[in-house]
Amino acid sequence: MTKIFSNIRLLLVTSLAALSCAAHAQLSIEITGTGATRFPVAIPVFENEAALPRGITDVVRADLERSGLFSLIDMGLVSVPVTAMPDLAAIRGRGADAVLSGSLYPQADGRYDVRFRLFDTQKQVELGALALRMAPAQNRATAHRIADFVYEKLTGQPGYFATRIAYVVKSGPRYELQVADADGMNAQTALASREPIISPAWAPDGQRLAYVSFEAKKPVVYVHTLATGQRQVVANFKGSNSAPAWAPDGQRLAVVLTKDGQSQLYVLSADGTGVRRLASSPGIDTEPAWSPDGQWIYFTSDRGGSPQIYRISSAGGGAERVSFDGSYNVTPRLSADGRHLAFITRNSGRFQVAVMDLATRQTTILTDSARDESPSFAPNSRMILYASESGGRGILAAVSTDGRVKQRLSVQAADVREPSWGPLIR
């Protein structure tokens, strides 16, 4: 692809992304596995939804379908206004165990009030109701919040549809750090470069990304504010600087530096000041990951002869080993609820995603592929996003922590890698 064509393509992506999601560089998602039992739910078109240039309930249905936990009962063109009590028995007769009624009310300023109620058709009770105010251009963001509402009411867990993901796309000699909605839409480029970009990491406030860029012909850690495009070098010491991991307070980063010899762990402030060595070992220490309570830093180390997962108090001290099965366990990542550790294990020569229940220390291998990397939990702790390979191309995939729900995310004619799932936006 010539540079001119790729520039035109980038321009198309950034200008069309807001209008439609049909650009070539879009991340497309397909479901390849569903939950053991899928909860049947009806999401009919909202009353007055046709007045919007782009719809809401189709996005809600797609979010719930893609989670692998719901089956969507078709209601045709019938809408259930929020002011009426739905005929729950009839809706139950169509096979739905829950139904969402909803209406849009236009306001004087051109925005809409969106009111909706969720009912259990078996118990014949209302499970909850909410109202949101939206501008027509916010149809997708509003739909994701509605899907989160339905997901939370029916599963007891917070939804993750109103979140963003970051990942790197390599297309020929060109690398782009992109940020998209969790459904793959609205992809935007934060950084374009002719040199690699790895290890993107979301700040807890969802506003900044730390990452490693090789544009200076060596690895350097940056912190990048997405809304403004402003960025700052936070680690460019002699040697290599990499593996940024945010502390839960958003004020500090753990990083890996080689300025004093081999790759070792350090902690510094998010502006790059106050570097303090965290641990010393005779081998390689890398891939730090903070526990959600900020007490522990899990990391990869080959101090014992082969790469395994260890943890150390974030205040420093002795490290304890966490992984014991097999000879290659790397890339530890903690779920936000603190209950699970995801990592990559080499199993008969194949690199696969594993998850450990931290209470029982039981480990399960979740994938059956060969080149998995870079696991990242959804902020509701239920799904793990990771990089994999298919058909000779880099793709992203997602698997639920119980291994049942599977998704595949790919970009046409490009390699996608290095995913990172952003936080819940409160």
Partner 1 sequence: MKKLALPALLSVLLAACGSTGTFDPAGTKVEERSSGAPDSGVTTITAPSPAGSGIAALTDPNNILSKRSVFFDFDQFVIKPDARPLVEAHARFLAQNPQMKMLIQGNTDERGSREYNLALGQKRADAVRQALTLLGTKESQIESVSLGEEKPRCTQSDETCFAQNRRGDMLYTGEF
* CB nearer to partner 1: pick between 129 and 284: 284
Kindly state the smallest distance separating residue 232's Cβ from partner 1, in Å: 6
* CB nearer to partner 1: pick between 48 and 262: 262
Binds partner 1 by CB under 8 A, chosen from 79, 178, 281, 300: 300
Give the rounded distance of the alpha carbon of 113 from its chain centre: 29
Among 420, 419, 401, residue whose Cα is nearest residue 157: 401
Contact between 166 and partner 1 (CB under 8 A)? no
Beta carbons of 311 and 296 less than 8 angstroms apart: yes
* CB nearer to partner 1: pick between 16 and 129: 16
Q: What residues between 348 and 407 interact with partner 1 by CB under 8 A?
A: 351, 373-374
Q: Is residue 345 classed exposed, middle or buried when 0-12, 13-18 and 19+ CB atoms within 10 A define those classes?
A: buried
d(CA 97, CA 73): 9
Contact between 325 and partner 1 (CB under 8 A)? no
* CB nearer to partner 1: pick between 340 and 417: 417
* CB nearer to partner 1: pick between 70 and 298: 298
d(CA 240, CA 98): 54
* CB nearer to partner 1: pick between 118 and 223: 223
Tokens of 261: 């010899």
Q: What residues between 191 and 210 interact with partner 1 by CB under 8 A?
A: 191-196, 198-199
Contact between 418 and partner 1 (CB under 8 A)? yes
Helices (H), 291-421: none
Contact between 240 and partner 1 (CB under 8 A)? yes
Q: Is residue 203 classed exposed, middle or buried when 0-12, 13-18 and 19+ CB atoms within 10 A define those classes?
A: buried
Kindly state the smallest distance separating residue 147's Cβ from partner 1, in Å: 27
Contact between 231 and partner 1 (CB under 8 A)? yes
Beta carbons of 200 and 206 less than 8 angstroms apart: no
If you compute the radius of gyration of the chain from its CA atoms, what whole number of angstroms results? 23
Contact between 415 and partner 1 (CB under 8 A)? no
Beta carbons of 344 and 354 less than 8 angstroms apart: yes
- Residue numbers at the binding site for partner 1 (CB under 8 A): 3, 10, 14-15, 188-189, 191-196, 198-199, 214-220, 222, 229-234, 238-240, 242-243, 256, 258, 261-263, 271-272, 284, 286-287, 300, 307, 328, 330-331, 344, 346, 351, 373-374, 418
